[in-house]
Structure 1
């Protein structure tokens, strides 16, 4: 009798062990399927494998954005045109399949007999066709300190880009941040390199 009980107990233990192993296999398969579904639903953001561009190339982008912004401003302020002194900073994000840019720059009035004061400008641009920019806004900020508290969800605080009020932004409102896809920024430092400005198609939308 004792031998029979021992065999029955051993059989039960073996069956329980096999059942546990099957349950573990099912759990592992379920976890694997969940991981695959998560990867399909939420793909990892694209991270470029190539290194960051040189300062000269990086600042070339900033110059193009700044000139596009000033061309837009001058087209809407005939008789009070400004010329670029230098770009300062630029931030960018993808929003709804388009690249958006916020740019800060310094400029001065054209054609003055005496040295004109240097003014601070903020510009908002988005990508256009064939490597062009569509300028949505270019605003002179006469007193940057008075606007230093204005919020923008696009621009990192450390970039110190001064903005007009949030209501004036097309991209950068508090509710936009959930839809942003951020890339490694092309302008992590202020403008430094005197480079030749490449030709660029400017699209002015009124």
Structure 2
């Protein structure tokens, strides 16, 4: 099968601005302080699309990281419509690199650093995390939970979320079962609804007390992870 046929993008009527901006929006936050990311934003604001693409090429070259096929296909679309053959060849080469170096497909909005054949470091965009959180809260019926103060657990296998409701405010704590003990990650306790706000030290201590009381009443074994 020819590479062109394998990775050919579908007809796309989005503007150059939107196509490039979407890739920037879904780049993981680890890249936001990178010089080439900032350059790309500036070029995009000035509608200098070719230079914006060059910045993303330099970002890729300077980091050596792997980005999703969707990321490269969108940039191919821009380069194709602007008749930028050198840029298109580079983006196609990155698709080939993904195919030859990786045994898995990188989801859109993710990036990976390959340390060796068995060790990968993964970065995920905040937009992806926000989307997952929104879907989870809908699935866990947060609208109903927030009507009554209390502590609620929603499980998903050996992990899940514990929700704390206090006068319409919602906090959530992820947990993992380790030898039937729920390890609660409480170091960054915050309110997430209706507004996102870090808890005060006093609120954190009160929340821990509520969790311990809830565990006692429900015969749960918990520990606070760092």
TM-score higher than 0.5: no
**Larger gyration radius, structure 1 or structure 2:** 1
Compare relative contact order (CA 8 Å, sep 6+) and give the higher one, 1 or 2: 1
TM-score, length-scaled by structure 2? 0.21
TM-score w.r.t. the length of structure 1 is 0.22
Larger helix proportion of the pair? 2
